[in-house]
Amino acid sequence: MTTAATTVDCLGLACPIPVVRLAKAVAAVEVGGVVELLADDPGARVDIPVWCRLKDQQLLARHDRPEGGWVFQVRRAH
């Protein structure tokens, strides 16, 4: 996994909060910086990759968390 500049914990939060918080965090890091998002809302599995495509940001990885949910890593592309 890539080292993240910041981690956004959205565990227990429903759509659209994870996407909103991811967008804010990506805007706050430098271009090339990585944001790690923790989410367990099932919608995040679809919403995060779609947001990355729509906003031309790079989804580096999605990993399952042993405790439930996922870790998404997003690199700010611009």
Residues known to be catalytic: 15
Specify whether the CB–CB gap between 17 and 10 falls below 8 A.
Answer: yes
The Cα 31–Cα 33 span in angstroms is 5
β partners of residue 20: none
